[in-house]
Structure 1
């Protein structure tokens, strides 16, 4: 009896792969990726400070809205202080509802990444044509605010339907971050050609850590440091990616900023050994590597 499977990528054990380097001869790429989200009022989906599946009311809505009113600006100040480039998974509704966000991200030369319309809804339950419409609408709104179309996509709730990858590739996206299967990028098959999977952590991610598992901010900071230190050690053997995933309504809370800042400062103390970059820049670099170096590029 066969188990359900996919044909998006073949198995590849990391020790068996060719070795390559990131720009400047570096072996560890660091991505700091933030999520900017907008929610329906008293409806749909959305996390809460007390858990992932609360009743949608004014309190849970306001807690999340704190991220766009205050938390994002706290986080951007921290990234500016440490001179860290960043990328942002952005609900297109957030850019329409919060007019200050787009200009602030452009001023930092940060990357806009498609993240659906709102995290009050999921795309994996939609009919194909409805999902295509959602992807294209989100892409076009981000393009208008950023001045260029987004290269990358992360679905709300990191969810995909059976045809999401095909629809993304057909809509001009070059990479996705919905498949946390590796510490290296790898190519995936779609009906319109290959699309790159860029590592995006569901472990070093403040939402599951601080909300679902109720870790403290200091525990999350220790997780970031431990992940980074171990990947830096492992990168002596092979190129790797260390991603740190944030949400401003979570880590943008003042009591969580100090531990986060300490963790990021620890990473930046090793900056001469790192390629501190954005997912789009990493994807463009990988696309230029010789065939056969990155899993999925062999044919």
Structure 2
């Protein structure tokens, strides 16, 4: 029986892959991704604090809005205090709704990553012209605001069509974050002899699946970050690895969870001299600089 496949990459077991290092001979690359998202009022998608009621769904809209108005600013203070870099995954609608928040990330020197127009929609349900238009619109807005186009993309709601990698490569993107199938970057084949790099993005060390999906507390989520980091430090002695931490300010920007997140951040920061604290864009650029065939 022959199963359908995506034809983007071949199965390559972790054991036996070519070895390489990150800059300064480091073996573990760690990045933090803060999702900056805006949602439509009275309609559309969004994580739910409580089961959604009839629209306008005031409770859930206001809960998510807390992240942009308050929680993200608490988090920026925490990252500033520990001198930690970050990638801001930005809905282009944020430039209209909360431009000060994106500007604060820009002022920190954070990488600005494309994250669609809004998380009130999924791109994967669109036809190819519609999806291309979404990517172009979001990319153009980020490029105008930041002075250069973004290098990377995370689809809103990790939504993909069968041609998403092709459209992103054709739009000039170097990497995507949507696939969680590996702890090392992997090259994707794209049409017209193009390619795009899949940089690991977590669905375990990610506050939405853990806190909203599995209903764990902030203390347990911080323990996951610490345990994942400690184990990956050991595992990276054998091979280069990437650890991403995915965060949303309406979740871990809540003070009772922020206290535990800061504990996990301090734990990682204490190891800054042994790891590469970086951004996904820097990871992608480093992989592109390696000889052909080193990165699967």
Same fold judged by TM-score > 0.5?
yes
The CA distance in 1 between the partners of 2:9 and 2:53, in whole Å, is: 36
**Match of residue 274 from structure 2:** 273
Task: Note the residue ranges of structure 2 that are not aligned, 5 or more in a row.
Answer: none
Contact kept in structure 2, 1:206 and 1:250, CA below 8 Å: yes
The CA distance in 2 between the partners of 1:37 and 1:251, in whole Å, is: 14
**Match of residue 64 from structure 2:** 64
**Match of residue 222 from structure 1:** 223
* Deviation (angstroms), 1:101: 1.9
* Deviation (angstroms), 1:102: 2.6
Structure-to-structure mapping, 1:19-58, within 5 angstroms: 19-50=19-50, 56=55, 57-58=57-58
Structure-to-structure mapping, 1:109-188, within 5 angstroms: 109-188=109-188
**Match of residue 262 from structure 2:** 261
Q: Does 1:102 align with 2:99?
A: no
**Match of residue 242 from structure 1:** 243
* Deviation (angstroms), 1:147: 1.7
Cα 1:198–1:261 change in 2 (3 A) is same
SS at match of 2:21: coil
**Match of residue 202 from structure 1:** 203
The CA distance in 2 between the partners of 1:196 and 1:232, in whole Å, is: 23
* Deviation (angstroms), 1:55: 5.3
Aligned residues: 294
Q: TM-score, normalised by structure 2?
A: 0.97
The CA distance in 2 between the partners of 1:286 and 1:221, in whole Å, is: 29
The CA distance in 1 between the partners of 2:201 and 2:13, in whole Å, is: 18
Q: Does 1:289 align with 2:295?
A: no
Structure-to-structure mapping, 1:2-17, within 5 angstroms: 2-17=2-17
Contact kept in structure 1, 2:94 and 2:102, CA below 8 Å: no
The CA distance in 1 between the partners of 2:258 and 2:49, in whole Å, is: 16
Q: TM-score, normalised by structure 1?
A: 0.96
The CA distance in 1 between the partners of 2:130 and 2:18, in whole Å, is: 40
Contact kept in structure 2, 1:28 and 1:274, CA below 8 Å: yes
* Deviation (angstroms), 1:40: 0.3
The CA distance in 1 between the partners of 2:74 and 2:143, in whole Å, is: 25
* Deviation (angstroms), 1:54: 6.3
* Deviation (angstroms), 1:291: 1.1
* Deviation (angstroms), 1:99: 2.0
The CA distance in 1 between the partners of 2:176 and 2:106, in whole Å, is: 21
* Deviation (angstroms), 1:89: 1.0
SS at match of 2:181: coil
* Deviation (angstroms), 1:58: 1.3
The CA distance in 2 between the partners of 1:146 and 1:72, in whole Å, is: 20
Cα 1:261–1:171 change in 2 (3 A) is same
* Deviation (angstroms), 1:286: 0.6
The CA distance in 2 between the partners of 1:55 and 1:142, in whole Å, is: 33
What is the aligned-residue RMSD (CA, Å)? 1.1
